[in-house]
Structures are given as C-alpha cells and as structure tokens.
Amino acid sequence: MNFNYLFIIALLFFFASCENTENTQGDAKNKHLVQTPDTTVHYAKEKHLANILQLTKGGDNAEAYFSFDNSMIVFQAKNPDWNAPCDQIYYFPFSDGDMNNKIPKLLSEGLGRTTCSYFMPGDTSVLYASTRSGSDKCPPDPEKREDGKYVWPIYADFDIYTANLKGEIIDTLVAGPGYDAEATISAQGDKIVFTSDRSGDLELYTCDIDGSNQQQITFELGYDGGAFFSPDGTKLIFRSSRPKTEADIKEYKDLLKEGLVMPTNMELYTCNIDGSELTQITKLGKANWAPFFHPSGKKVIFASNYKGTRGYEFNLFMINTDGTGLEQITYDHIFDAFPMFSYDGKKLIFSSNRNNGGTHNTNLFIADWVE
C-alpha cells in the first residue's frame, strides 16, 4: 500500500497521450500488442477473470478492500468532482449498484491527505492513515527533482485512525513522531501490520487490534511496506526496496532524511508475523508491489512492470510463495494494480486504467475469480 499510485498517474501525463493516439488511430505496427480495443474492460487472455464490472468512472481510485462479510469496500480516491483534491477515504456497499452517478460516503471528512483504509472486525468501522494532525489541507507534493528521478513523500504527519461508517473518528490507533501508515488487518481480526519510520528506517510493525503491543518485525535497511496477512494469519507478504551498493545506500538514506522514498525498484518478501523466516520470493527487477495472498495461502497476486518497456506498464501476476510458477493474470497495456481477493475467495477487486476513454483516470473493477 501507499506505493502511491500517483507515481503512475504522473508518468501517464508524459506518456499516455502518445499511447492513446497510437491505439485509437490503429497504428498497424502496434495492433498485435493488444488483444481487444482499449474501450473494453476484459482482455482475451484474462482467463482467471469473469464478469468484470467497472465500479467507478472518473478520478483516481485505488486500494479498495472488502469488508469481512464481502458486502462493502473501502477505498481511497482523488476526484475533483467529489471535492477531493487529494486522496480521501470512501466506503461503498455493493447493494448501492455503482458509483457512476452517486458519490459514495466520505469517511475521512476531507481533512488532510489519507491512505490505506481497511475494515475493522464487525464491519462497522474502518482504520485509515491521515495527515489531519498536521493540517486540514492537502500536504504539498514533492518538487520535481533536478536529476529527474521520481520520489514520493513519507509525510511525518501520517497517523492511523479508526472511524465509524458515518465518518466520525473513534480513536487514534497508532501515532507518534514520524510516519505511521499502510495498516492492514488479519482475517482473524486480531492483528494489525503497519509501516513506520520511528526507528529511523521504514520498517514493518505489528500490534493487537486495539493498537497495543506494538512490535518491530523487520530490521534491514530499506523500505518495507504494503504488508498483508496470509489467510490463516501466520505469515505476511510485503514489498521492499533493499539498497545494497554504497551508492544506493547513500541515496536511500539521503532521501529518507528529506522524508522521501524512490519507489521504482522493489521485490516481494514473505515472513512469519514475528519477522522470522524472511524470504525473498521475486527477483524480477523494476517495481513489484501491491501483493496479496491467494485464498489458498500458497500463492500471491501482485502488480509488476517487469515486462513493460516503459515504467507505467503494470499488470497483475501470480507466483507461488516459494518463488516458482510465475503467471500473468491481466493484460492491460497501461496499468493494473491493487488486487484484493474477497474473504470467500470468489471475487477479485483491482484498479485499472482500462476503459478510461483516453483520460488519465484510474478506476475500480471487480470480477469473478476463475481458478
């Protein structure tokens, strides 16, 4: 989580207009790269997906996660039409149909910038991270760097809150000086995992569902984040950038002092919930992120641009937890990411730039999962 899909959107501003022109004009040399036109929601090779439904139309919508009873989702969106100039948290019951003509319920009150929401046990409240303690306004984006490298901010004002479905804050769950965000909850409803820089580095921590018993579980230099529990609650999957060379270590540390991270080179790791048996399961290069366990607990679905010729070309892939059996799941020519299985394993929800009419919009899609 919080790889910050704005990275992808920023790149699209530079490249998407060219890409869309090529496709809409039917450039003969590119036709063989796409199985179906970019105005559809389902590509021919996507054999694991059926009955794909587009849930949103417009804005940047991402990180959608199911309620425990699978009847709702909570997600973050940036959408001027919803009066959300930076990411805010919304929830949506599927019984409402879709969000094309109806704005979903705002939970984060439009204060600060928010990220990484997740339903709490009982489905009557959610947790999410917000910069609201620092200011009611959206914090500034990092300035463009002279070296041209992309970075995203680690806002020190991010703390983790719980709110009811009316949007009323119930509690400050995790707080302190520095960044606390990227929290998710075990399927058993007893544990939370989150990322914090309280140690001076970006590490994973676990705590009990009420925020107590906070324990650091990763310790190696580099960014560890976007963690999720296995279905049985015994393991974690997460993304990590682990600098090794002297130059990379210096760059990472220098950026972190500025409250910045460069998220363009990440691999996936698993570990037990106490941090033991740490195992790297991808060695693909580029950016591998947004992992989520398959319902079996033996595979992981994730987003990667390792096959892309340009940085923004992300698709969903699946891999066994031992690093074997890599399989491509989606075949969009721009961006698919943020997959989550429903708790019963029957549905997959994800974000995509497909069917956006040549705009930069990132929408939510839900599909039946086919083994």
Q: What is the DSSP letter of 34?
A: -
Structural domains of the chain in order of their starting residue, each with its CATH number = 6-369 (2.120.10.30)
Give residue 160's pLDDT band: very low, low, confident or very high (50, 70, 90): very high
Give residue 19's pLDDT band: very low, low, confident or very high (50, 70, 90): very low
* C-beta of residue 261 within 8 angstroms of C-beta of residue 154: yes
Range 317-322 average pLDDT: 98
Q: What is the DSSP letter of 80?
A: G
Classify each residue of 108-139 as buried b or exposed e, where b means 16 or more C-beta atoms within 10 Å of its C-beta. Answer: bbbbbbbbbbbbbeebebbbbbbbbeeeeebb
Q: Rounded to an integer, what is the distance from CA 34 to the centroid of its chain?
A: 25
For 152, residues 6+ apart whose C-beta sits below 8 A from its C-beta are 3, 4, 6, 7, 142, 260, 261, 263
Q: Is the pTM of this model over 0.75?
A: yes
For 258, residues 6+ apart whose C-beta sits below 8 A from its C-beta are none
- Give residue-wise pLDDT tens across range 121-149: 999 999 999 999 999 999 999 888 888 88
Average pLDDT value for the chain: 90
Compute the distance between CA of residue 259 and CA of residue 339 in angstroms, rounded to an integer. 27
User: What is the sign of the dihedral through the CA atoms of 229, 206, 277 and 338?
Assistant: positive
- Give residue-wise pLDDT tens across range 37-76: 444 799 999 999 999 999 999 999 999 999 999 999 999 9
Q: What percent of the chain has pLDDT over 70?
A: 89
CB atoms within 10 A of CB 85: 13
